[in-house]
């Protein structure tokens, strides 16, 4: 009986905590409300998803639709300020702030009021703001990240920038076009509802917009879904009456808004993660049961669907952004993961042994998982490119070429690892091991050609953009080092110096250089390519320590195995 009572108590607490999601509020109309944020027109649906994920660390916090949660913060700010929704991602920072009761990820949340009252966080942020970014400690970097999430929440709830006293129209939401377009050279910024009248928006139009907004707020608080949809439709009409900007940089129309909402609902990249994972798991069976070739077709089906999802998502995202997907670390990882998945399928058509399908699906899954499950340093929002990146068209060739080379060399790295693990337990004499060695070697020469082409194209683009072909930037040096490492493997293989074992070890070292070029130079060094790092912390993460220890352990084990085998043959 006591256990039942405890369960009922916990259920009642959970229901009370998530009471704001009840009432059937869907937001079909209001999610179409156009906003201008980050110099890009987007639906409120996208803005809500992006900001909720940044603040909570989750696409669907407590199984709540992001738009509904965003509106709850906006319309019911007093209650929202006391709810633990702001994600604490760093254990050391949590300890510094005195939150030692956090023992799991589900507990690592605090409310706006709690964090604003935390003196340790305030002191860390104030100290970090007085020094240059490069001098920040890991703790200060994490404090600034947390402070950013706190400020974002405060902007939505109307407790930042003095909007708390703006009544029903309070809070930040750039959904109102200004009365006049900006002058040449000025950024076009939209207004929040509370700023309409003081910015000179026509009084009649501002009044219609304000009344619709207040009606939507009242219906949301009352959890009256029908009235909320009616008020939201009126809000959309009042928004359109304000007039959207035209011209090359103007509003693209409601068709683009609806297309982005459909993409948000489909979430192709989030789905593709698990289809590639399923393909990887299924592809292990034909590697074990060689006679059941039909298992290979079964394993390829999820990868084909995952590749289709990636193609659809990349196409839609490219169309919505009006540019190639080259602007952020997130976008480059999407492209590299898609390339790995597609290349794995194509190479599997030639080899038909299961290894390329297995490896391509694994690399695609890993890349997509990192891209879609790290909202703290990834930038999933569609954004505009920095002007320096779009001053000539070579950038649209350079980056995809580099990402494709990374994908090919990444496949070689994983295949080489597979060969070394099998060698450790099974030796090198079996036919399957010899076939695997050939497959592990195949992507390297092709990847090297693409890598060299990408480096040259990058230099030509840099000459046009920065006035120099080569500047010893960390990213440039990293790419050169990676090319030289793999070039040693290529030359050694063709010259006969490296056999299967040496090629596999060489691909391992090349994989380390790939990891440094793609990840290390962005997150641990400063340079002209640092735009891709998302301002990541320079402290070495735990996964990298584990990866390094595992790699060094594997290398030591296979070298010892190889020496023992050579000694036995000599005897």
187 belongs to a structural domain: no
pLDDT at res. 60: 84
What is the mean pLDDT for each group of 10 consecutive residues in the chain (571 residues)?
Answer: 40 41 76 88 93 89 91 91 90 86 71 93 91 82 90 84 62 81 71 79 88 93 93 93 71 89 94 96 87 83 96 91 76 92 94 92 94 78 69 75 93 94 86 90 94 90 76 85 94 90 93 90 67 50 85 92 80 63
510: its two tokens = 């090349």
Q: Are 373 and 290 within one domain?
A: yes
204 belongs to a structural domain: no
Q: Are 564 and 429 within one domain?
A: yes
Q: Are 539 and 442 within one domain?
A: yes
pLDDT at res. 506: 93
Q: Find the distance separating the first CA and the last CA of the chain, reported in whole Å.
A: 74
Whether residue 433 contacts residue 419, with contact meaning beta carbons closer than 8 Å, is answered with: yes
329 belongs to a structural domain: yes
pTM for this entry = 0.85
Residue that has been written with the tokens 């010893």 in this structure: 472
For residue 88, the tally of other CB atoms under 10 A from its CB is 21
CA distance 561 to 420: 10
Whether residue 466 contacts residue 521, with contact meaning beta carbons closer than 8 Å, is answered with: no
CA distance 358 to 375: 27
CA distance 45 to 26: 11
Q: Are 348 and 469 within one domain?
A: no
Whether residue 365 contacts residue 433, with contact meaning beta carbons closer than 8 Å, is answered with: no
Q: Are 533 and 491 within one domain?
A: yes
Residue 354: which H helix or E strand, with range?
none
Q: Which of 329, 363, 385 is the last residue of a domain?
A: 385
Q: Are 568 and 427 within one domain?
A: yes
418: its two tokens = 């597979």
Whether residue 405 contacts residue 450, with contact meaning beta carbons closer than 8 Å, is answered with: yes
Residue that has been written with the tokens 């190639």 in this structure: 324
Q: Are 368 and 447 within one domain?
A: no
Question: How are the residues of the chain apportioned to helix, strand and coil, as percentages rounded to the nearest 5?
Answer: 70, 0, 25
Q: Are 464 and 339 within one domain?
A: no
452: CB partners within 8 A, 6+ apart:
483
pLDDT at res. 307: 96
Of 368, 383, 395, the residue nearest 274 (C-alpha)? 368
The parent domain of residue 272 ranges over 267-385
Outline where 176-293 has alpha helix (H).
203-222, 225-242, 254-266, 268-288
464: CB partners within 8 A, 6+ apart:
391, 392, 394
185 belongs to a structural domain: no
555 belongs to a structural domain: yes
Q: What is the dihedral of CA 537, 364, 361, 318, to 10 degrees?
A: 170
Q: What is the dihedral of CA 220, 225, 231, 237, to 10 degrees?
A: 120
Of 326, 362, 327, the residue nearest 343 (C-alpha)? 362
- The answer for 182, left when phi > 0, alpha when psi is -120 to 50, beta otherwise, is beta
Of 511, 522, 410, 399, the residue nearest 455 (C-alpha)? 399
Residue that has been written with the tokens 């391992």 in this structure: 508
Q: Are 278 and 332 within one domain?
A: yes
Q: Are 441 and 558 within one domain?
A: yes
Tell me how many domains the chain contains.
Answer: 2
398: its two tokens = 């350079």
CA distance 558 to 571: 20
For residue 486, the tally of other CB atoms under 10 A from its CB is 26
Residue that has been written with the tokens 């980056």 in this structure: 399
429 belongs to a structural domain: yes
Of 416, 299, 394, 275, the residue nearest 352 (C-alpha)? 299
217 belongs to a structural domain: no
Q: Are 365 and 475 within one domain?
A: no
Q: Are 440 and 553 within one domain?
A: yes
SS3 386: coil
496: CB partners within 8 A, 6+ apart:
none
């Amino acid at each position: 009986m006591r256990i039942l009572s405890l369960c009922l108590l916990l259920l009642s607490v959970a229901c009370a905590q998530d009471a704001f999601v009840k009432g059937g509020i869907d937001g079909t109309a209001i999610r179409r409300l156009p906003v201008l944020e980050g110099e890009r027109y987007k639906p409120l649906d996208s803005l809500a998803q992006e900001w909720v994920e940044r603040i909570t660390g989750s696409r669907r916090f407590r199984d709540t639709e992001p738009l509904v949660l965003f509106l709850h913060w906006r319309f019911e700010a007093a209650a929202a300020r006391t709810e633990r929704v702001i994600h604490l991602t760093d254990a050391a920072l949590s300890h510094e702030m005195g939150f030692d009761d956090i023992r799991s990820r589900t507990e690592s949340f605090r409310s706006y009021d709690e964090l604003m009252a935390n003196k340790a966080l305030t002191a860390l942020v104030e100290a970090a703001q007085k020094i240059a970014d490069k001098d920040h400690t890991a703790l200060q970097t994490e404090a600034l990240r947390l402070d950013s999430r706190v400020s974002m929440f405060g902007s939505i709830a109307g407790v930042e920038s003095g909007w708390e006293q703006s009544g029903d129209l309070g809070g930040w939401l750039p959904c109102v076009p200004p009365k006049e377009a900006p002058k040449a050279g000025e950024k076009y910024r939209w207004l929040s509802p509370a700023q309409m009248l003081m910015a000179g928006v026509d009084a009649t139009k501002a009044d219609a917009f304000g009344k619709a907004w207040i009606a939507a707020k009242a219906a949301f608080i009352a959890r009256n879904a029908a009235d909320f949809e009616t008020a939201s439709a009126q809000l959309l009409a009042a928004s359109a009456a304000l007039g959207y900007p035209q011209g090359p940089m103007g509003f693209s129309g409601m068709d683009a808004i609806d297309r982005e909402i459909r993409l948000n609902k489909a979430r192709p990249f989030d789905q593709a993660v698990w289809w590639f994972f399923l393909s990887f798991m299924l592809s292990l069976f034909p590697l074990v049961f060689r006679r059941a070739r039909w298992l290979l077709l079964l394993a390829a089906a999820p990868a084909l669907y995952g590749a289709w999802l990636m193609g659809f998502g990349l196409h839609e995202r490219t169309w919505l952004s009006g540019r190639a997907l080259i602007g952020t670390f997130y976008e480059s990882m999407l492209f590299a993961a898609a390339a790995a998945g597609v290349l794995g399928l194509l190479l599997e058509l030639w080899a038909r042994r299961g290894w390329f399908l297995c490896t391509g699906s694994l690399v695609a899954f890993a890349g997509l998982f990192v891209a879609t499950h790290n909202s703290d340093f990834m930038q999933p929002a569609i954004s505009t490119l920095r002007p320096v990146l779009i001053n000539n068209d070579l950038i649209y060739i350079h980056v995809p070429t580099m990402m494709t080379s990374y994908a090919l060399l990444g496949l070689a790295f994983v295949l080489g690892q597979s060969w070394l693990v099998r060698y450790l337990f099974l030796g090198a004499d079996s036919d399957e091991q010899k076939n695997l060695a050939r497959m592990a070697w195949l992507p390297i020469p092709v990847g090297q050609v693409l890598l060299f082409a990408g480096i040259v194209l990058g230099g030509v683009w840099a000459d046009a953009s920065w006035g120099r072909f080569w500047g010893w930037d960390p990213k440039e040096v990293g790419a050169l080092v990676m090319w030289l490492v793999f070039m040693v493997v290529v030359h050694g293989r063709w010259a006969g110096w490296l056999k299967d074992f040496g090629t596999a070890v060489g691909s391992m070292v090349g994989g380390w250089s790939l990891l440094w070029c793609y990840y290390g130079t962005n997150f641990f060094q400063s340079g002209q390519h640092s735009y891709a790092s998302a301002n990541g912390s320079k402290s070495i993460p735990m996964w990298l320590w584990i990866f390094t220890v595992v790699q060094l352990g594997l290398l030591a084990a296979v070298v010892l195995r190889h020496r023992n085998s050579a000694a036995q043959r000599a005897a």
